[in-house]
Structure 1
Amino acid sequence: MQKKRLSWVDVTKGFLMILVVMGHYPGELDFPLATYIYWFHMPAFFILSGMFFKPILEKGVTKKVIHKRFMQLIVPYLFFLVMITVVRYGIEIGSGNFDISWYLSDLWTLVIGGRFVRGAYGVFWFVTTLFFAYLVFLWMTKYFNRTKQIAILVAFYLIAHIESLIAMRLIGGGPAEASQTIPMLWNMDVAMMAVVYFALGYYMKNIWMDITKPWLIAGVIGSVAAISLDWFNIIDYHLSMKFLRYDHLVFDLVIPLSFTLVFVGVFQFLSSYLSMNWLRRIEKHSLSIMYLHIFTYIVLKDFFEYGFIEFTIFGIIVPIIASIIIQKLVPHGKLFLGGFSPKKSKTPSTQ
């Protein structure tokens, strides 16, 4: 049962990672694929992460749990941040950029992170947001009962939407520029929205673990209805967690949940008949793919003709190769790829 569960989860995450790559294609497409991908793919990752959350029931283990998550999330974040930055600065120096002020300004932006880093660092916000969402939910489940937890989540959800209204309506302009007028380290404020999806993964775990036919039908209806309303210009819905764009109090829950129900349900069904190992392999290297697919494009675009298909293929294959090299050749390579596992304390044998 455990192997079957892990199989469909890995397959689903592998597919979502492909969508992450596709969603960052910089060119124009006839079909609004990126818009629909952004409707659900980031919330789906938070939902799937919440499914495996374990509340702390024992005393004295909180620090160990937080340390484990820090090593699994923030250490790889710092590793890829430094690695990409070293290469970038090497390219800048090679092209004749010796402006110290440029490097200091760039380094300060990297320190702030979140929505303020663009280009090669475009996806870095997700990991820090996930880390803070985890910490917030850990705190909630440790000190509050379910009723109070839900009340806190409702408050976070409303505050997140108020912040979005301030950015999108009062400040105005493009979502990226508007959201960057609100200073915040590592997109910690986005954790208010992320923890809601994270909690839905945890609270609805029994539903997610076995999507029944009624739930799958409900997801299909919600997804088809949303696309139809958008297609006929009845709604103009967008969701960008990174840039604080939350368009609708109801749709921001219904649409991501509907699409996630569909894809989880479909991959649960397919995984019971097909191995789909290729998606599991993609998931195995998902951290490298997430961090490196945009940087791959930046480095290779001057050497290859880049269309949507090429962007997707290179954005998956090159990071997988990099992931294998890091594991094999870099000291503590598995640690830098999120493979931290705390050593189990040995209990002395009694005679």
Structure 2
Amino acid sequence: MEKKRLSWVDVTKGFLMILVVIGHYPGQLDFPLAKYIYWFHMPAFFILSGMFFKPILEKGITKQAIHKRFMQLIVPYLFFLVTITVIRYGMEIGSGNMDVSWYLNDIWTLVIGGRFARGAYGVFWFVTTLFFTYLFFIWMTKYFNRIKQIGILTVFYLIAHLESLFAMRVIGGAPDEASQTIPMIWNIDVALMAVVYFAFGYYMKNIWMNVTRPWLIAGIIGSVSAFSLDWFNVIDYHLSMKFLRYDHLVLDLLIPLSFTLVFVGVFQLIASRMSLKWLQRIEKHSISIMYLHIFTDVVLNDYFQYGIIGFTIFGLIIPIVASIIIQKLVPHGKLLLGGFSPKKRKTPTTPLPN
């Protein structure tokens, strides 16, 4: 049962990682594929993360749990941040850029991170947001009962929408520019929205672990209805967690949950009947793919002409190769890719009576 569970989870995450790559394709497409990908793919990652959250019940292990997540999330974040930056600066110096103020401004932007880090760092916001989402949920589940947790989540959800309303309607303009008028380091404010999706993963764990036919049908109805209404211009729905764009109090839950139900349910059915090891391999190298797929295009697009298929292939293969090299040749490579496992505490043995 455990193997099957891990199989479909890895397969689903592998597929979502492909969507992450496709969603960052910089070219123009006749079909607004990125728009529909953004409807659910990032919320789905938070939902799946919440599904495996374990509340801290024992005393004295909170610091250990936070340390574990820090090593698994922030250490790879810093490693790829420094690595990409060193290579970028080498390229800039090679092209003749000696403007010290440019480098100082760029470094300051990278320190703030989140929605302010663009280009090659376009996905870095997710990791810091996930880390603070985890901290929020530890705090909630440790000190409050379920009813109070739901109350806190409701407040967070409303605050997130009020912030979005201020950015999108009061400030106005393009979502990326509007959201950057609100100062915030590491997109911590996005965790107010992310923790709600995370909570749905945790609270609905029994449903996610075995998406039954009625739930799958409900997900399909919700997804098809949303797509049809948008396609025929009845609604004009957008979702961009990174840039604080939350369009609708109800649809911001209904649409991501519906699509996630469909993909989780479908991949559970498929994984129970056939092996999808290629998707599992993609998930195995997902850290490297997430951090490097945009940077891969930054490096290659001056030398190659390719469309969305080439962009996706390069964005998967080159980071996978980099991941293998890091694991095998770089000291502590597995640790730098998030493979941290805390040492288990030894349980003292009770001496036998004489």
Deviations 1:84-120 (A, max 9, x none): 0000000000001111110000000000000000000
Amino acid at match of 1:222: G
How far, CA to CA, are the matches of 1:309 and 1:6 in structure 2?
Answer: 28
Deviates more, 1:340-349 or 1:98-107: 340-349
| Correspondences of 1:132-281 after superposition (within 5 Å) | 132-281=132-281
Q: List per-residue Cα deviations over 1:195-251 (Å, max 9, x = no partner).
A: 000000000000000000000000000000011001101110000000000000000
Deviation of the 1:271 alpha carbon: 0.2
Q: Which residue of 2 aligns with 1:293?
A: 293
Q: Which residue of 2 aligns with 1:70?
A: 70
The Cα shift of 1:142 comes to 0.1
Count of residues in Structure 1 that have an aligned counterpart in Structure 2: 351
Cα deviations across residues 67-99 of structure 1 (Å, max 9, x unaligned)? 000000000000000000000000000001111
User: Superposed, which structure 2 residues align to 1:52-71 within 5 Å?
Assistant: 52-71=52-71
Aligned mates of 2:235, 2:100 — CA distance in 1: 47
User: Deviations along 1:113-151, whole A, 9 cap, x unmatched?
Assistant: 000000000000000000000000000000000000000
Residues of 2 paired with 1:220 and 1:81: CA distance? 39
Which residue of 2 is the match for residue 311 of structure 1? 311
1:344 CA displacement = 1.2
TM superposition shift of 1:345? 2.1
Q: Give the partner amino acid of 1:72.
A: Q
Deviation of residue 155 (structure 1)?
0.3
CA distance in 1, matches of 2:146, 2:345: 32
1:302 CA displacement: 1.2
The alignment partner of 2:128 has SS state of helix
Q: Could you tell me which residue of structure 2 aligns to residue 41 of structure 1?
A: 41
Question: Aligned AA for 1:308?
Answer: I
Distance between the aligned counterparts of 1:10 and 1:182, measured in 2?
A: 36
CA deviations over 1:3-25 (Å, ceiling 9, x no partner) = 11000000000000000000000
1:8-67 alpha-carbon deviations (Å, 9 max, x no partner): 000000000000000000001111110000000000000000000000000000000000
SS of structure 2 residue aligned to 1:72: helix
Query: Is 1:15–2:15 an aligned residue pair?
Result: yes
Q: Secondary structure at the match of 2:154?
A: helix
- Matching residue of 1:343: 343
Matched residue SS, 1:347? coil
Q: Which residue of 2 aligns with 1:83?
A: 83
Give TM-score scaled by structure 2 length: 0.98
Deviations 1:295-334 (A, max 9, x none): 0000011111120000000000000000000000100000
Query: Structure 2: 5+ residue runs without aligned partners?
Result: none
State the SS of the aligned residue for 2:208.
helix
What is the letter of the counterpart of residue 250 of structure 1?
V
Residue type of the alignment partner of 1:253? L
Aligned partners of 2:344, 2:137: CA distance in 1, in Å?
A: 25
TM, length-normalised to structure 1: 0.99
Report the alpha carbon displacement of residue 348 of structure 1 after superposing the two structures with TM. Answer: 4.2
Partner-residue secondary structure (3-state), 1:215: helix
Distance across 2 between alignment mates of 1:102 and 1:33: 35
Matching residue's letter, 1:309 = I
Structure 1 residue 346, shift from structure 2 partner = 2.4
Q: What is the distance in 1 between the residues matched to 2:69 and 2:4? A: 25
Tell me which stretches of 4 or more aligned residues in structure 1 moved more than 3 Å.
347-351
Give, in whole Å, the separation in 2 of the partners of 1:217 and 1:48: 20
Find the aligned partners of 1:32 and 1:224 in 2 and give their Cα distance: 16
2: CA distance, partners of 1:269 / 1:142: 35
